[in-house]
Amino acid sequence: MKLTRRQFVVGTAAGAVGAAGIYELVDQFSGGSPQRAAGAVKLPEQHLLEGVRVVRDDGVEVLVPPLHHQILTARVAVDRSELANARVELERELAGLDDDYAPSPAGLGVTVAWGRPYFDRFVPAAARRLLPLDRRAGKPVLIDAERFPSDPEDTRLEQNHVAFLLRSDARDHIEDAAKRIRGTKLFDVTSVRRGFAGGGFDGEQSLPKQMAEAAQIPGADLIPETAELFLGFTSTQRAGMGPGGIANFETLGYVDLRGSDYFRHGTHMHLSHIHEDVEAWYLNFDFDERVATAFRPNLDVKQGTQTVRQGPQDVSSEADVRRDFHSSGRIGHSAPIQTTSRLLADHVGEDGTVFVKGTAIPVRADFNTLDNPFAWSERSDEVGVLPAAGVHFVVFNPTGDDFRRNRLAMDGHLPGGTIPFPPRGREQGFNSVLSTTHRQNFIVPPRRHRSFPLSEV
Amino acid sequence: MRGLLATGLVLCACAALAAGCGEARKADAAPAAKPKPTCAYRAGWQKLADKVRVPVYCPGWLPDPLTSQIGGRWNNINSVSKDRSWLESFVWQETGGGAAGGELHVNLRGYPGRTAIPTCRTGGSDSRDVACFRDPGQTFSANGITARLYRVNEDADTWHALLLWRKGGTLYTLSEHVAPPLTFDHVVRYLKRELASLELIRPA
């Protein structure tokens, strides 16, 4: 097979560092695992990590995400009659991982999320009775993923039974977990998705910058040296991430738990893969336009700033978005999403936690990737030869409809009416440089029911 | 010529793994080691200078296979507007896949009698007036010229890295397309070499 210049260079560079390929470079670039707090409490939620470091960047508090990420998607490989044993066996493996690794970036975060095909095929009666309902939408919290107005027509809506999200600063922790999960023989893996995040906050060259350059991604040399993500802006501002259990089913009152505690401490997860045109972002958008696109128009930010404040006092209302649109013809990215993703009033959770107006609801866990679009897939057309810049977008919301509202707002579909844009218009936030390839929704049960949920009911 | 370029790219890829890209090293080192290149096609540039009645810059070096011959096979735009602003564009394009494919595209411009950055109209549904050259960055000095790098540019300079400077009440630009086989950093190295090779041609 003939290789192109990029294939040749990338292939050899990856080969030079070992069979694990380009992702092994993450360890080399990051110098291995950073110092983190060791111990961590095992929370009833699967989707929350303890021991996450907080740093200040450009005067803003930022959460430092785990360095390494991997997602396995799979089909259940056993019959309904074997579910009871399967549940015990998987839980034994997961409990073993809990015993061996603290649920923190220094250890290992394991989140097991189940798709609608699992509930429909294996536990339909129990699901009808116990799957939580979204009070606002009048639907189950788990709804099928859809193509949004700015999505390409060929965005694949996936039908996986289950997804395992593995997060750690140590790649060998993730590899160990993946091996142990696969070793149960309970699943037929449908895809493997890998990526990385973080670096750069202490002044060193960031991982996305280094990885993009190593892979010779078009536009890699335009990424700022310390950028947290390929597109140059920090996205893990503490105030921009849903705090604690805010995305839990039970916290905000969006969800009817059907008179049962079965799914208390659970949440909803959306998973998608998005290609990013890094070169177009830096060669067609000047800094001010990048700020206006990533955040909101008319935002005064010092040239070269990477971390922009996103606290409750910086939140845009729908009126703000419409006013900005009338003055500039643009809506940005963060601003329209904030019209649906932030609390409109103070809220007291059922455990007494006070969430102030403007607090973010979604708990994001997205990470950059060089998968094109996946590191491995059972479908040959889902594994490109060349690396490609992108993001595996992972977000936890109280319901599928809550995610849907946020994603529609990103396209200008605001609660009070739609601002019309051409599909993927440049004035519509990031959309002109993003291209979504895959989407699926999942339920993340609480830790106690993470293994084949409802199979014991 | 296509074969030469393709071979050069493969060699460059090999060298990059062992001891750095030979092509890039050559580009950085050449001005100091060799006599300054001179305009190889003076007649066409002299004619241009006479027409616009201000000095113009003729490149003494362009990436192979481009030459600076106005009216030559690679000169796809030779334009002088009513206000005497001019654009000379040189392009090589090969649509073959792999190492054989790619594009080299260099633009030189002059805006006689004006030093302000001109305004361009963007396309698309949100079409608006913007500065034609935006996102200024670092400056480079060579050949008596101090030029600033602009990263976001419009019209014929879209998707180009661009150097901009002023002399004698005239705004000048030199830009090159960021496209395979070149990365942005590689284009900047080429621009620096081209800047160092410019020869000022005065009106007769």
Q: Give me the pLDDT at residue B177, please.
A: 97
A6 band by pLDDT with thresholds 50, 70 and 90: very low
Alpha helices in A311-389 (DSSP H): 318-328, 334-341
Contact status of A325 with chain B (Cβ, < 8 Å): no
pLDDT at residue number B102: 87
Whether residues A12 and B134 touch (CB distance < 8 A) is answered with: no
pLDDT tens per residue, range B30-61: 455 567 789 999 999 999 999 999 999 999 99
pLDDT tens figures, A198-228: 877 888 888 899 999 999 999 999 999 999 9
Q: What pLDDT, on the 0 to 100 scale, is given for residue B122?
A: 84
- Give residue A361's identity as a one-letter amino acid code: I
- Give percent of chain B with pLDDT exceeding 90: 73
Q: Which residues of A touch B135 (CB under 8 A)?
A: 286-287
Among A2, A218, A221, the residue with its CB nearest the CB of B98 is: A2
Per-residue pLDDT reduced to its tens digit, A51-103: 999 999 989 999 999 989 999 999 999 999 999 999 999 999 999 999 999 99
- pLDDT confidence of residue A204: 85
Retrieve residue B63's tokens. 């990436």
- Residue A33 above 80 pLDDT? no
Convert the pLDDT of each residue in A291-315 to its tens digit.
999 999 999 999 999 999 998 889 9
Closest CA to A22 of A213, A163, A173: A213
User: Nearest C-alpha of chain A: how many angstroms from B53?
Assistant: 33
What ipTM was predicted for this assembly?
Answer: 0.81
Helix (H, G, I), strand (E, B) or coil at A260: coil
pTM equals 0.88
Task: Show residues of chain B in contact with A282, CB under 8 Å.
Answer: 151-152, 184
The strand ranges marked E within A349-433 are 354-355, 363-364, 367-369, 376-377, 390-397, 413-414, 417-418
Cβ–Cβ below 8 Å for A9 and B126 = no
Give the chain A residue nearest B158 (alpha carbons).
Answer: A284
- pLDDT, mean over chain B: 84
Q: Kindly tell me if the per-residue pLDDT of A37 is higher than 60.
A: no
Q: What is the pLDDT of residues A157-207, one digit of tens each?
A: 999 999 999 999 999 999 999 999 999 999 999 999 999 988 778 888 888
Residue pair A270/A397 in contact by the 8 Å Cβ criterion = yes
- Closest by CA position to A360, among listed A322, A399, A310: A310
Chain B CA closest to residue A223: B184
Beta-strand pair A156-157/A434-444: parallel
Q: What is the DSSP string of A120-131?
A: HHH-HHHHHHHS
Looking at residue B7, its pLDDT comes to: 34
Q: pLDDT tens digits for A340-393?
A: 999 999 999 888 999 999 999 999 999 999 999 999 999 999 999 899 999 999
User: pLDDT band for position A139 (50/70/90)?
Assistant: very high
Instruction: For residue range B107-158, list pLDDT tens digits in order.
Output: 999 999 999 999 999 877 678 899 999 999 999 999 999 999 999 999 999 9
Does the pLDDT of residue B204 top 90, yes or no?
Answer: yes
Find where tokens 């503490």 sit. Answer: A238
